[in-house]
Amino acid sequence: MNRGFQKSLSLLIKPVSANCNLACHYCFYLSKQELYPGKRRMSIKLLKRLISQSLAIADEVWICWQGGEPALMGLDFYLKVVEIEEHYRKRGQRVYNAFQTNGLLLNERWAMFFRDNSFLVGISIDGPAEIHDSYRVTPQGKPTHELVLEKIKLLQKYNVQFNTLTVLTDKNGDKAQILFKFFQDLGINYMQFIPCLELNEKKDGLADFSLDAGTYADFLCTMFDKWYNNGEPFCYIREYEEWLIKYVYGVHPSCAFTPSCTGALVIEYNGDVYPCDFFVEPRWLLGNINEVSLGYILNNSNLYREFKLRKKDLDKRCLNCPWLKFCWGGCCKFRWNEKGKPIKYSYYCSSYQRFFKYSYNKFIHLKEELKSK
């Protein structure tokens, strides 16, 4: 194996940057339009460089196409993606593509493309209409729930592999049972739920739509019971599946719950590289692939090394916590208190503590069941 070569590489690629056909009230990425003014579209030349550099340093490359709204690039761009991946992929190498979308631009051609090229689609929906349409609206303020349901049915019709992504806010964080029934009624068994925590415009407190810690603790425990199903899980909810992996194998697959920040690198439309989707800001610009290779950034960037290690700067409450190995202070994105001041542990610390205590024996049961098979 060549020096610097690795088994797996994960990337979040933003071919249109923050461009989007929605104006979700809680979106943290819309503000990046100020960071990248003007036209935001990835060129085919840059796409080739990106894919060739990726396959030059890893056996497996996991790519998630994100935005903004990545479908704004048009289907022809992704047809080219598949062609270029096949061109640069050597024998034994694998490329896995995921596509995170609000769904509005999808049609039959998109659905057939996803199915035929094994793209895993993540489609954003926050629950029933009265919840979803509270925040997920067009720039003109129009609701989108009905359109998203149409696109989910389209994906189901064409047997596209997909999961739903739900942002937990003040509108739905206390409705775990309603959400679970809603998705089950739609025939959806692959879900993930992400808590929303943003600062208000004055940055002196949390935004009104943020999910408070107590409500999130209730959600984690209630939804866990739905997933656990008396010891016989039948659906996939990412958060619990990944904690089960931690129990069974000792390693959590998500960077949010590991000792250092080693998640997917973000590649902006112009080739700029950042260490994390939540930290696309000048302070953490690692370089540009037109000027320095991905391999160099991964293996030689002092700034990237600093970013990865900063998570280890933990509060005493973390170092003395019996659940430290399950949490490691949580995601740095959530290290704020109610007044918007930075802290060295997660805002959701109490949520996780309560959940870990609540679910421990049940996870141990599942672990033993898996080991006995």
Short-list 185, 70, 61, 74, CA closest to 124: 70
Structure tokens given for 12: 């979040």
Burial-class residue 268 by CB neighbours within 10 Å (0-12, 13-18, 19+): buried
Report the distance separating Cα 296 and Cα 18, nearest Å: 26
Given the DSSP bridges, would you call strands 120-124 and 162-168 parallel, antiparallel or unpaired?
Answer: parallel
Which of 336, 340, 283 is closest to 307 using CA atoms? 283
Token output for 130? 């009265």
Task: Return d(Cα 186, Cα 34) in angstroms, integer.
Answer: 38
Does the active-site annotation cover 204? Answer: no
What's the Cα-to-Cα distance from 310 to each of 83, 261, 350, rounded to whole Å? 39, 8, 22
Q: How far is CA 240 from CA 23, 150, 237, 355, in A?
A: 30, 28, 6, 11
CA-to-CA separations, 272 to 28, 35, 289, 324, in angstroms, rounded: 18, 11, 7, 34
What does the alpha-carbon distance between residue 286 and residue 4 come to, in Å, rounded to a whole number?
17
Q: Using an 8 Å Cβ cutoff, are 175 and 146 in contact?
A: no
Given a contact cutoff of 8 angstroms between Cβ atoms, the answer to whether 149 and 182 are in contact is: no
Q: Which of 185, 277, 313, 315 is catalytic?
A: 277
Instruction: Please answer whether residues 98 and 119 qualify as being in contact, where contact means their C-beta atoms are separated by less than 8 angstroms.
Output: yes
**Which of 280, 283, 277, 278 shows the shortest CA–CA distance to 303?**
283
Q: Which residues are catalytic?
A: 277
